């Protein structure tokens, strides 16, 4: 949310005889520390500034300092203290929208969704009033902060709970070519759109925690989207090791397609960046841990191994993910069964194991026709109404087990018939 600082006035140089000047100097120092990510220093500066601001008659100074203090405490994962600081900001200036916004952010982090919703709603009302006073009534519809309305909606979603699921497509949801983008990034994002790789976010609407599945191409865009929805990434699952699903080193024969005709080599953002830059642990089948680690410039110990039957909890209101080992397209391919509370399978994320009407390529060096036959039988055993979400949008964004039993590769046929098809 764009933050509009309130005017504080006063001197900009500190002196023993001017507590306000010292307060503003400390606040500026806190802002500088916050900008570079030094939360401990920022908090120290803001706390000292707040103690000076307490005695100043203009309480808007205290409100501004405590607002920034709350933001720093929240980034330091000290949400309870952030809520106290936000309360001080509200108490100092109850008619200031940002003070209520800060209280909403802290309450949300503590999963106090009802209280957060009320704070966001109040902030939105005050925000519209501030804009109206500054720009006239006609400016309100165009300039009112939409992020506050979105925050209220997220609170409603969190209070309701349940499975939180997003299917992301490059060129539509992430990997968006924007003005000013470098040519290499344009090439990368255009390649992502042409490959039609799906990225999935699966989690619990109440806990606001989720897994990203096949998170690559635009790691920063994926992380930003999750944050906009106030979701925290707790793991990055790769359905198989291929670069367009986990990132990393691009095979030489595909470098020109991904990065342009003059590129000699390419490194695709993916599980490595999610782990190193954002602290999101990568998870792949144990057979592909070494390969993914090497490909993504990770240590093998940094990649968590998955086995058939492993369970990844989503949260009490969402259920869990069950891992199915489904070799065929690659030796360590997995499908992810999303089970609702109670155990019923709602959907399955299949990577490149199956697509509407077809399956993943079986002409690759480590593909296995017989293994794919067995893997398809696993999927065929699921209920007809289970939704299948594929790894690419080549032939649609979803199908069902029932549909594939009628017109796809879950039809009943023998192993010999399957071999004859390949």
Q: 137 burial class (0-12, 13-18, 19+ CB within 10 angstroms)? A: exposed
Query: How far is residue 105 CA from its own chain's centroid?
Result: 17
Residue 129 pLDDT: 86
- Across 125-134, b (16+ Cβ under 10 Å) vs e yields ebbbebbeee
Residue 257 pLDDT: 83
Residue 130 pLDDT: 81
Cα(32)–Cα(284) distance, integer angstroms? 40
Portion of the chain with pLDDT greater than 90, in percent: 86
Residue 137 pLDDT: 63
**Per-residue confidence band for 139, with pLDDT thresholds at 50, 70 and 90:** low
- Phi and psi angles of residue 163, each rounded to the nearest 5 degrees, phi first: -70, 130
**Per-residue confidence band for 8, with pLDDT thresholds at 50, 70 and 90:** very low
pTM: 0.90
Name the residue with higher pLDDT: 247 or 4.
Answer: 247
Q: What value does the mean pLDDT of the chain take?
A: 93
**Per-residue confidence band for 140, with pLDDT thresholds at 50, 70 and 90:** low
Give the ranges where 54-112 is alpha helix by DSSP (H).
Answer: 59-75, 79-92, 97-109
Q: Are 144 and 191 in contact (CB under 8 A)?
A: no
Q: How many CB atoms lie within 10 A of CB 180?
A: 5
The pLDDT tens digits of the residues spanning 85-97 come to 999 999 999 999 9
Residue 11 has pLDDT above 60, yes or no: no
Q: What is the mean pLDDT of residues 410-415?
A: 95
Q: What is the mean pLDDT of residues 364-372?
A: 96
Give the ranges where 229-350 is alpha helix by DSSP (H).
Answer: 243-246, 255-259, 271-278, 289-295
């Amino acid at each position: 949310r764009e933050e509009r600082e309130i005017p504080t006035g006063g001197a900009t140089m500190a002196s023993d005889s001017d507590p306000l000047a010292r307060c503003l100097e400390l606040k500026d120092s806190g802002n500088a520390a916050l900008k570079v990510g030094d939360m401990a220093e920022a908090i120290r500066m803001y706390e000292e500034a707040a103690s000076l601001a307490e005695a100043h008659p203009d309480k808007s100074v205290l409100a501004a300092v405590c607002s920034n203090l709350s933001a720093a405490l929240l980034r330091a994962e000290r949400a309870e203290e952030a809520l106290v600081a936000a309360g001080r900001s509200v108490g100092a200036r109850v008619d200031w929208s940002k003070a209520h916004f800060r209280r909403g952010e802290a309450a949300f982090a503590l999963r106090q969704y009802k209280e957060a919703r009320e704070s966001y709603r109040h902030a939105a009302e005050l925000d519209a009033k501030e804009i109206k006073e500054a720009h006239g009534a006609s400016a309100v519809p165009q300039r009112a902060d939409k992020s506050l309305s979105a925050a209220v909606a997220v609170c409603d979603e969190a209070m309701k709970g349940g499975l939180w699921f997003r299917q992301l497509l490059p060129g539509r949801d992430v990997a968006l070519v924007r003005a000013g983008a470098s040519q290499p990034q344009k090439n990368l994002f255009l390649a992502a759109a042409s490959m039609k790789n799906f990225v999935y976010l699966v989690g619990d609407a109440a806990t606001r925690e989720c897994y990203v599945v096949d998170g690559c191409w635009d790691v920063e865009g994926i992380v930003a989207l999750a944050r906009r929805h106030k979701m925290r990434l707790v793991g990055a699952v790769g359905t198989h090791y291929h670069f367009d699903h986990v990132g990393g080193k691009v095979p030489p024969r595909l470098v020109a397609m991904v990065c342009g005709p003059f590129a000699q080599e390419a490194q695709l953002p993916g599980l490595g960046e999610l782990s190193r830059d954002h602290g999101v642990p990568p998870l792949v089948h144990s057979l592909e841990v070494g390969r993914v680690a090497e490909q993504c410039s990770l240590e093998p110990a940094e990649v968590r191994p998955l086995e058939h039957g492993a369970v990844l909890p989503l949260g009490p209101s969402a259920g869990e993910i069950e891992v199915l080992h489904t070799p065929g397209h690659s030796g360590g391919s997995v499908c992810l069964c999303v089970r609702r509370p109670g155990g019923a399978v709602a959907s399955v994320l299949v990577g490149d194991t199956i697509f509407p009407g077809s399956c993943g390529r079986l002409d690759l060096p480590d593909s296995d026709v017989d293994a794919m036959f067995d893997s398809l039988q696993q999927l065929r055993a699921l209920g007809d109404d289970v939704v299948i979400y594929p790894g690419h949008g080549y032939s649609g964004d979803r199908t069902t087990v029932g549909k594939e039993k009628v017109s796809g590769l879950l039809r009943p046929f023998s192993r010999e018939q399957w071999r004859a098809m390949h």
